[in-house]
Structure 1
Amino acid sequence: MAETVRDLLASLTSEFTELPDDIGDSTVDGPIGWRGYGDARAAAADRTGERESVVCGVGTVDGTTAVFIAFEFGFLGGSIGESTGRRIDSAFHHARSARLPVVSLIATGGSRMQEGMRALVQLQRLARAAALTRQAGLPQIAVLYGPTTGGGWATLGAGADVVLALPEVQVGFAGSRVRPPGDPHAYTAEAHVEAGQVDQIVDRPRLRETLGRWLRLLTNPAAHAPSPPRALGEDLALPETGWAAVTRARAAERPRADAYVDDYFDWRERIQGDRCGGTDDGVECGFGWRDDGCVAYAAQRGTATLPAGFRTAARLVRLADRLGIPVLTLVDTPGAANDGAAERAGIGPAIAELFEALASARVPVTTLLIGEGGSGGALAFAASDRMWATPDSYFSVTSPEAAASILKRPDEAIPTIADQLRLRPQDLVELGVARGIVGR
Structure 2
Amino acid sequence: MTILETGTAAGTSWMVCPGCGSMIYVKRYERGDRVCPECDNHGMLTAAQRIDLLLDQESATPIEYAETVADPLQFNDSRPYPERLDDARRRTGMTDAINCVRGTLGGVPVVVAAMDFRFLGGSLGSAVGEAVTASAEVALAERRPLILVTASGGARMQEGIVALMQMAKTSRALRRLDEAGVLTVSVITDPTYGGVAASYATSTDVIVAEPGARLGFAGPRVIRQTIGQTLPAGFQTAEFLLEHGIVDMICHRSGLRDRLIRLVGMTVRSARPYTNDAEAVITDPAGLPTADAWDRVRAARRLGRPTTLDHLAGAFEEFVELHGDRMSADCPAMIAGLARLDGVPVAVVGTQKGHTAAELAQRNYGMPTPSGYRKAARVFRLAAKLGLPVVTLVDTAGAYPGIEAEKQGQAVAIAESLKLLAGLPVPVVAVITGEGGSGGALALAVADRVLVCENAVYSVITAEGCASILWQDAAAAPRAARALRVDSAALLELGIADAVVPEPEGGADTHPAAATALLRRAVRQAVHELRAWSTSDLLAHRHARFRAFGVARNDLQENR
Shorter chain as normaliser: what TM range? Answer: over 0.9
| Partner Cα distance (1:174, 1:430) in 2 | 58
- Post-superposition Cα deviations, 1:157-209, rounded to whole Å, max 9, x if no partner, equal 21110011111111111124423242241210111111111111111111111
Question: Which residue is equivalent to 1:429?
Answer: 492
- Post-superposition Cα deviations, 1:269-295, rounded to whole Å, max 9, x if no partner, equal 000011111211111001112222211
1:413 and 2:476 matched: yes
Structure 1 runs of 4+ off > 3 angstroms? 22-26, 218-224, 236-239
Cα pair 1:243 1:418 within 8 Å, conserved: yes
Question: Which residue is equivalent to 2:146?
Answer: 102
Cα pair 1:52 1:83 within 8 Å, conserved: yes
Please give the TM-score of this superposition, normalised by the length of structure 1. 0.93
* Higher RCO, 1 vs 2 (CA within 8 Å, ≥6 residues apart): 1
Unaligned runs of 5+ in 1: none
| Partner Cα distance (1:65, 1:90) in 2 | 16
SS at match of 2:60: strand
Give the direction of change, closer, same or farther, for the CA distance of 1:119–1:24 in structure 2 (3 Å limit).
closer
Q: How many residues align?
A: 432
Question: Which residue is equivalent to 1:332?
Answer: 395
Question: Which residue is equivalent to 2:250?
Answer: 201
SS at match of 2:96: coil
Q: 1:85 aligns with which of 112, 115, 129?
A: 129
Question: Which residue is equivalent to 1:125?
Answer: 169
Question: Which residue is equivalent to 1:394?
Answer: 457
Cα pair 2:124 2:155 within 8 Å, conserved: yes
Give me the identity figure in percent. 34
SS at match of 1:156: coil
1:143 and 2:187 matched: yes
Matches within 5 A, 1:125-274: 125-180=169-224, 181-220=230-269, 238=289, 240-274=291-325
Cα pair 1:30 1:37 within 8 Å, conserved: no
Question: Which residue is equivalent to 1:342?
Answer: 405
SS at match of 2:440: helix
**Per-residue deviation, 1:414:** 1.7
Letter in 1 for 2:47: V
1:68 and 2:112 matched: yes
- Post-superposition Cα deviations, 1:304-330, rounded to whole Å, max 9, x if no partner, equal 121111111111111101110001000
1:297 and 2:341 matched: no
Question: Which residue is equivalent to 1:112?
Answer: 156
SS at match of 2:76: coil
| Partner Cα distance (1:134, 1:304) in 2 | 31
Cα pair 1:221 1:326 within 8 Å, conserved: no
**Per-residue deviation, 1:384:** 3.5
Question: Which residue is equivalent to 1:359?
Answer: 422
Q: 1:49 aligns with which of 93, 97, 109?
A: 93
SS at match of 2:161: helix
| Partner Cα distance (1:95, 1:12) in 2 | 17
1:12 and 2:54 matched: yes
**Per-residue deviation, 1:411:** 2.4
Give the direction of change, closer, same or farther, for the CA distance of 1:427–1:46 in structure 2 (3 Å limit).
same
More divergent stretch after superposition (29-38 vs 103-112): 29-38
| Partner Cα distance (1:24, 1:394) in 2 | 63
More divergent stretch after superposition (413-422 vs 86-95): 86-95
SS at match of 2:393: strand
SS at match of 2:199: helix
| Partner Cα distance (1:78, 1:109) in 2 | 6
SS at match of 1:409: coil
SS at match of 1:285: strand
Cα pair 2:190 2:214 within 8 Å, conserved: yes
More divergent stretch after superposition (239-248 vs 296-305): 239-248
**Per-residue deviation, 1:432:** 0.6
Cα pair 1:221 1:324 within 8 Å, conserved: no
SS at match of 2:200: helix
Cα pair 1:334 1:372 within 8 Å, conserved: yes
Letter in 2 for 1:430: E
Unaligned runs of 5+ in 2: 1-29, 31-43, 225-229, 282-286, 354-365, 504-560
Cα pair 2:464 2:475 within 8 Å, conserved: no
**Per-residue deviation, 1:343:** 0.5
- After superposition, the CA RMSD in angstroms is 2.2
**Per-residue deviation, 1:238:** 4.7
| Partner Cα distance (2:328, 2:123) in 1 | 26
Q: 1:279 aligns with which of 330, 345, 348?
A: 330
SS at match of 1:220: coil
**Per-residue deviation, 1:392:** 2.1
Matches within 5 A, 1:300-311: 300-302=351-353, 303-311=366-374
The structure having more radius of gyration, on CA atoms, is: 2
Cα pair 1:222 1:294 within 8 Å, conserved: no
SS at match of 1:147: strand
| Partner Cα distance (1:221, 1:377) in 2 | 33
- Post-superposition Cα deviations, 1:134-157, rounded to whole Å, max 9, x if no partner, equal 111111000112311112111112
| Partner Cα distance (2:86, 2:262) in 1 | 39
